[in-house]
Amino acid sequence: MKRRWSTLKQIISAYEQHHDIFLSLINEEGRIICANATMVKALRLQNPRQAETNIFELLHPVNLSDFKTAIRTSAEKKSSYGIELYLRNGYYHPMKWEINYLQPEKGQNKNYLCVGHRIPEEERIKKFNQLGEKNFQMILEGLNAGVFFQDRNGELIAANQKAAEIFNTTLERLYQLKNFGDLWNTDLEIKNENGNPVTFAGTPFMKALQTGETQTEVLVIRLRNGAYRYLGFSSQPMFEENSTMPFAVVSNITDVTREKKLSEQLQEREALFNVFMKQTPYLAWVVDEDSNLVFASQSFYQYFGLDERASLNKNIIDLVPDGVAKALYEKHLQVLKTGVPAELLKKVKWANGADFFFHINIFPIEGVTRKKMLGGHAVNLADKFAAEKKLKEANDRVLLLSRATSDAIWEWDMQTAHIFRNDALMDLIGYQREDTKGLSWWLRRIHPEDRNRVSDKVKDTTEKNLHSWEDEYRFKCADGNYKHMHYKGYVVYENGLPVKMIGSLQDVSGMKELEDQLMDEKMERQKEISETVIRVQEKERARIGHELHDNVNQILSSAKLFVEMLSTTGKEEKEIKKKSLDYVMLAIEEIRKLSKELVVPQLNQNGLIESVETLIADIHLSTGIKIKFTHDHVNNLLTQGKNVTLFRIVQEQLKNILKHSKANQVEIHLQCNERDAQLIIKDNGIGFDPRQTHRGIGLSGIYERTRFYSGSVDIQTSPGQGCSLTVSIPCL
């Protein structure tokens, strides 16, 4: 087959002086056409020209999709493409690959030259391998958090792709780091949440190595691009067996920058609210049914020259001027008696002879305490317009703050039941402002399966005087579709009572879809692995069965012929010859039975039903036990691997019954619907106590085979009551 070998040789010659470079030529389906000696030896490959090998099978599953994308991109752009991934060599190792698209001659297939090299150096690879067996899944599949493995000196052993993303770098650059301590102390700008620099010795991972205990801390790190990130470190020491000194430390690193910024925004909003309440010109107060002052605004104390601590729980009539006191007393009695809010316009002569006009509102406060409570506020009309101007300015500031952020923010005034939602939130849910109402309107649009949980969580937060909460739920938007929302809330308390809630919403629907997709792909890979394992096991069992039947039995048959040829004279010699022949025949028969059990029937030809019926017929010939077999048509609904699994379970359980149960009747029922296949095997034997009986090899094999296909096993038995085994395996 002709190719542009001149181009290929030019590319290869650039790497010839590097003995640790992996070179391979692959086609679009990943088949390795040829590879250099370094790659063949390091990955223990057979000669690609003699045995077909696919590079996709050498990649870790999480990198397979990215690698295929890299191939397509290289072909589309007709250029090289770089990618970091994990390749299997005993353990999976981090490597960097360059994929070069080779322009084909007319009518020929697309080929690619792949150039790869290990990212860590030899010494670090040795340490990586020591950790790989027990911790590789954490290194590679920690998709939601960065992972660092460091030795007892703090030097980096391994890291995952997420860690590289968090530090705005690549795996290759991470593995190139030398003397991590000097780099930390000189090149990086790292502080704690209080703004104090954090030295290498003071990091959570070094503290974990020194103390032998898990350490957690949030650090603020300035990246190379000048951006700051809040990173949460959780560092856990790792110990070898029978050792009290950690040999390494693993750190989970989470980017909490968004959460910190949101928290700062909420703190700023709360501070603005508190300042606003302190600076409002309104006179506000709360009294009980005996007119004792329970609460008052800062303006109230300042207006009447009162000391806050000395005034609380004192009769309000004794605290304010006589003219105001008389008006308040009469209106208080009126509202207490009728429960209806009242207002009045009152001219009050001050001690200096000046006249002031106050607009006063009195209203009942219910459901807070057992005592009747009254609230009131008064506005000095002379200051009315100035107050309204300040209030408008304050409201404008709050509105500008809500518009300045892209986050969806809401605020619930629990006293007035008014809910404010900013423009980002309204755009997120798609409703018009005039269509939205209060809390009950919002709760009705939460998915019925989530509604009670969310309502209970908000209620539980206020009842327990908690200051914040967060959760996820599905919300029905204006277009009729549900979005997955992640929400956080913060509660403002006054005098121990919740008066306001402030929170944010985030649309995480895309993340949920990605999680579901990843789970589906993981389940699909698990099914493929299960089928492969079953197929390999059955192939090996068949090989051993044929080996026993064809070779070992042949040897024993020859031995039997030789024993028969021996001439015996005495009685004792004849007895020895007879026993020898008996033992040889016994061995031949046992090996015949064992080989028959090991070799699975030809399910592709006979089907599961016919194979089980053949097994039952063999048992009927050799024992007096009666076996009744009922079934429906299941052959075309199950894969070959699941058919083999069900046959092996029937075979294993019948062996258990014959060996242990002393039963004389057995019922087998096999049925399959659209969801799963169900196998039930009952006997009338002696049964056993499952709490006291150790699970033997037979039952363990049944559990393991069922678990391969995410199925379930249920055993109902007791002494003297027989045994019922129920196995369910999903059809799809």
Report the C-alpha gap between 276 and 284 in whole angstroms. 14
Position 6 confidence tier, pLDDT thresholds 50, 70, 90? low
pLDDT of residue 300: 83
pLDDT at 402 over 60: no
On the 0-12 / 13-18 / 19+ scale of CB atoms within 10 A, 594 is: middle
Position 529 confidence tier, pLDDT thresholds 50, 70, 90? confident
Based on the domain organization, do 471 and 583 belong to the same domain?
A: no
pLDDT at 9 over 90: no
Position 358 confidence tier, pLDDT thresholds 50, 70, 90? confident
Q: What would the pLDDT profile of 77-136 be if each residue is shown by its tens digit?
A: 888 888 888 777 666 678 888 998 888 877 778 889 999 888 776 666 666 666 655 554
Q: Return all residues near 478 (Cβ < 8 A) that are at least 6 apart.
A: 429, 430, 431, 435
pLDDT of residue 470: 85
The last residue of a domain, from among 103, 118, 133: 118
pLDDT of residue 517: 78
pLDDT at 522 over 70: yes
The last residue of a domain, from among 216, 231, 255: 255
Report the C-alpha gap between 65 and 415 in whole angstroms. 54
Distance of CA 328 to the CA centre of its chain: 61
Based on the domain organization, do 247 and 235 belong to the same domain?
A: yes
112 near 150, Cβ under 8 Å?
Answer: no
Based on the domain organization, do 157 and 224 belong to the same domain?
A: yes
Based on the domain organization, do 731 and 617 belong to the same domain?
A: yes
pLDDT of residue 595: 62
Does residue 275 fall inside a structural domain?
yes
Based on the domain organization, do 503 and 530 belong to the same domain?
A: no
On the 0-12 / 13-18 / 19+ scale of CB atoms within 10 A, 536 is: exposed
Does residue 261 fall inside a structural domain?
no
Most confident of 282-286, 334-338, 408-412: 334-338
pLDDT of residue 324: 75
The last residue of a domain, from among 71, 95, 118: 118
**By percentage, how much of the chain surpasses pLDDT 90?**
8
Does residue 277 fall inside a structural domain?
yes
pLDDT at 1 over 50: no
What is the identity of the amino acid at 435? Answer: D
Report the C-alpha gap between 33 and 452 in whole angstroms. 60
Based on the domain organization, do 497 and 462 belong to the same domain?
A: yes
pLDDT at 14 over 60: no
Q: Return all residues near 233 (Cβ < 8 A) that are at least 6 apart.
A: 203, 204, 205, 215, 216, 217, 218, 219, 251, 252, 253
pLDDT at 2 over 50: no
Does residue 97 fall inside a structural domain?
yes
Based on the domain organization, do 621 and 558 belong to the same domain?
A: no
The CATH number of whichever domain residue 153 belongs to comes to 3.30.450.20
Does residue 564 fall inside a structural domain?
yes
Based on the domain organization, do 133 and 249 belong to the same domain?
A: yes
pLDDT at 266 over 90: no
Most confident of 328-337, 433-442, 698-707: 328-337
Q: What would the pLDDT profile of 172-191 be if each residue is shown by its tens digit?
A: 777 777 787 877 877 778 89
Q: How many domains in the chain? A: 6
Does residue 395 fall inside a structural domain?
no
Task: Give the pLDDT mean for 404-415.
Answer: 72
Based on the domain organization, do 99 and 112 belong to the same domain?
A: yes
For the chain, give percent helix, strand, coil, nearest 5. Answer: 45, 30, 25
Report the C-alpha gap between 297 and 305 in whole angstroms. 13
pLDDT at 309 over 50: yes
Task: Give the pLDDT mean for 218-222.
Answer: 89
Q: What would the pLDDT profile of 594-614 be if each residue is shown by its tens digit?
A: 666 665 555 544 578 888 888
Position 169 confidence tier, pLDDT thresholds 50, 70, 90? confident
The DSSP letter of residue 307 is: -
**By percentage, how much of the chain surpasses pLDDT 70?**
79
Give the range of the structural domain holding residue 589, as residue numbers without chain letter: 509-599
Within 13 Å, how many C-alpha atoms sit on residue 346's CB side? 23
Task: Give the pLDDT mean for 209-213.
Answer: 91
pLDDT at 7 over 60: no
pLDDT at 218 over 60: yes
The CATH number of whichever domain residue 705 belongs to comes to 3.30.565.10
- The whole-chain average pLDDT of the chain stands at 78
Based on the domain organization, do 279 and 372 belong to the same domain?
A: yes
Based on the domain organization, do 284 and 344 belong to the same domain?
A: yes
Q: What would the pLDDT profile of 420-468 be if each residue is shown by its tens digit?
A: 887 788 888 888 877 777 778 888 888 989 888 888 888 888 888 888 8
Q: What would the pLDDT profile of 275-302 be if each residue is shown by its tens digit?
A: 655 666 678 888 888 888 887 888 888 8
pLDDT of residue 325: 79
Please tell me which residue, 545 or 472, carries the higher pLDDT value: 472
Does residue 399 fall inside a structural domain?
no
Q: Return all residues near 371 (Cβ < 8 A) that are at least 6 apart.
A: 288, 289
Based on the domain organization, do 613 and 684 belong to the same domain?
A: yes
Q: Return all residues near 151 (Cβ < 8 A) that are at least 6 apart.
A: 127, 157, 247, 248
pLDDT of residue 723: 92
pLDDT at 701 over 90: no
Does residue 401 fall inside a structural domain?
no
